[in-house]
Amino acid sequence: MSRVAFVQRQVLAGALATLASVAPFFGATALGQTEAAPLASWDPRFSNPKPAPGDLILPLPCGGAMAFRAVAVPSGTGALDDRAIQLGNPDAELGFNEYQRGAFLAAPFRAADGTRVFYLGKYDVTRDQYAATMGSPCPQASPRGRTAQASVSWFDAVAFTERLSSWLLANAADKLPRNHQALAFVRLPTEEEWEYAARGGAAVSESEYLARTWPMPEGPERYAVAGAGMSDGQAQQVGQLLPNPLGLCDMLGNVEQWVLEPYRLNRVGRLQGMPGGLVARGGSFATPLEELRTSMRSEIPPYDPAKKAPTRLGTVGFRVMLSTVAGGGLQDVAMLRQAFESLQHGTAAGTDPRTRIEQLKQLTPDQTLRRALDGLSAELAADERARADAGRQTVRAELNAATALCYVVWRIQHIIDVQQSQLRSPEFRDLQTGDMVQRVRAAIAANQAEQQTAIDGYGELLRQTIADGTPSVVAAESQVVSQEMAARADRRRRFVAVATGHLAALGAGHPLTPDAMLQDIVAVPAAGP
């Protein structure tokens, strides 16, 4: 299905759902109303239908409540430390929208073990929670009110965060997390925060994190309200299905979720510079189940020209998170300045010893000292050259080893293909005994295991090569290796381009799966230079 058709279907479904749903609580009148007197506390099943250890429960107006989950972002102990993360997916078909890219993430709060965390809403904001915070009179908590609030514009969602932050500061400041002395406030999550949490964050392995969705052992229909038969054309109650590995419910399906920043196109591995419309994440009940993925993102115009008003779709809602100011407070300025200076002095100008020596020469008129400094500079230059030469030799040896492993993998695949062809041969089935068939199958299994071992070693070798050499050194040594192999008619030469391409992809921050590397290797033709 084309992207245009998909968006058209989403907009149509949103319009139908808007007509079918109860009129949302938004607008200037509601924002200006006086809050009604609080009612008795809601039954927890209406605010936290799937309670779990570690839930953070904050009160709402009208006796309501909202559940949050801590999302750990392990990133070191320094004030400016952050975590490198991967977003998007490697599918080039929608590359302009969600191609794989790197990003960095940090969190403001500290868990009991010192890990940095942020708090994300466990569920989409519900109709009752929205009405309690934004409208009057207070709602009576009910199953129907547990439905995800849809048909809200991005501006409505931001107004909700402003209203709830102000109410919490006035009525429940002692329950808010702190970053040192800075109190938390409520806002929409960024795209990085939303996708990192949707994928499972630090609670899943690297391969699970990079997969299309988080692990769903009971099948996607047990985790996401999406596709035909999963809804009656409108948003459903939150928390009916199973949560993701972080305990977050409905991260995919039910309603798309507004995020904080404007939409940007993807420019092959990074976001393009022009801000556009608004971003909603995660798909909705109108999205086919098989199309759901944690990288899914939609650009939505902020205003509806036909209605001459902000865009409100029955497929789009939101969830909120807790954050603080990045600096923590005035008392933290000195700590942040020290952390910045440490990073600056450790990675920026002034770290080259020969540059420092040249500066010292300009400061002294003593000729003896200047000659001594010249000698020291020459010794350092010779040492740097020796280390650079050794580094290049190391990279060259690693490239030779990588091409050798490529050839091993390629040869094993050729043997496997012959064995599988033998099993498919009518003559083999007719003329050979059952024992012979079993032996061939066992040989295939053994060869596949051997091939997997070689692929794993190849991937580790590539990562080490990146650590040992700069991109320019790797490129230069690749050319040298290719020339050397051509001179001696080495059959491994045709794999140099494969290894070099994999190194370039990994060096640019694009992770490669073992299956992807295997596919590239076995695609190399038998004939060639």
Question: Do 398 and 391 touch, CB atoms closer than 8 A?
Answer: no
pTM attached to this predicted model: 0.61
In sequence order, the 6+-apart residues with CB closer than 8 A to the CB of 137 are 36
| Residue 335 clears pLDDT 80, i.e. is over it | no
Predicted local distance difference test score (pLDDT) of residue 352? 66
Question: Do 88 and 295 touch, CB atoms closer than 8 A?
Answer: yes
Structure-derived torsion over alpha carbons of residues 97, 100, 102, 104, reported in degrees to the nearest 10: 60
Predicted local distance difference test score (pLDDT) of residue 116? 86
Q: State the Cα–Cα distance between residues 230 and 95, nearest whole angstrom.
A: 29
pLDDT band at 486 (very low <50, low <70, confident <90, very high): low
* Among the listed residues 268, 319, 347, the one whose alpha carbon sits nearest the alpha carbon of residue 80: 347
Selection from 34-48, 54-68, 422-436 with the highest mean pLDDT: 54-68
Task: Collapse the DSSP code of 403 into the 3-class scheme (helix H, G, I; strand E, B; otherwise coil) and give the result.
Answer: helix
Q: State the Cα–Cα distance between residues 356 and 416, nearest whole angstrom.
A: 60
State both tokens at 192. 């990085």
Per the omega criterion (within 30 degrees of 0), is the bond before 137 cis? yes
pLDDT band at 267 (very low <50, low <70, confident <90, very high): confident
Predicted local distance difference test score (pLDDT) of residue 341? 58
> Each residue of 54-72: b (16+ CB within 10 Å) or e?
eebebbbbbbbbbbbbbbb
| Residue 239 clears pLDDT 90, i.e. is over it | yes
Q: Is the dihedral of CA 313, 316, 321, 327 positive or negative?
A: negative
Predicted local distance difference test score (pLDDT) of residue 75? 74
- Characterize the bridge pairing of strands 316-317 and 256-262: parallel
In sequence order, the 6+-apart residues with CB closer than 8 A to the CB of 18 are 150, 151, 312, 313, 314
**DSSP-derived secondary structure for 92-151:** GGGHHHHB-EEEEE--SEE-TTS-EEEEEESSPPBHHHHHHHH-SSPPPP-TGGGBBP-S
pLDDT digit string (tens) for 121-154? Answer: 999 999 999 999 998 789 989 999 999 999 999 9
Question: Do 220 and 293 touch, CB atoms closer than 8 A?
Answer: no
In sequence order, the 6+-apart residues with CB closer than 8 A to the CB of 178 are 109, 184, 324
Region 183-193 average pLDDT: 96
Q: State the Cα–Cα distance between residues 508 and 494, nearest whole angstrom.
A: 23
Domains of the chain with bracketed CATH: 3-330 (3.90.1580.10), 390-522 (no CATH)
| Residue 2 clears pLDDT 60, i.e. is over it | no
pLDDT band at 51 (very low <50, low <70, confident <90, very high): very high
Percent of the chain with pLDDT over 90: 46
Predicted local distance difference test score (pLDDT) of residue 528? 52
Q: Could you tell me which residue, 428 or 112, shows the higher pLDDT?
A: 112
Q: What are the helix (H) ranges across 270-425?
A: 333-347, 353-363, 367-424
3-state secondary structure 25-82: CCCHHHHHCCCCCCCCCCCHHHCCCCCCCCCEEEECHHHCEEEEEEEECCCCCCCCCC
Q: Give the chain's mean pLDDT.
A: 83
Least confident span in 24-28, 233-237, 277-281:
24-28
Selection from 338-352, 388-402, 456-470 with the highest mean pLDDT: 456-470
Predicted local distance difference test score (pLDDT) of residue 318? 98
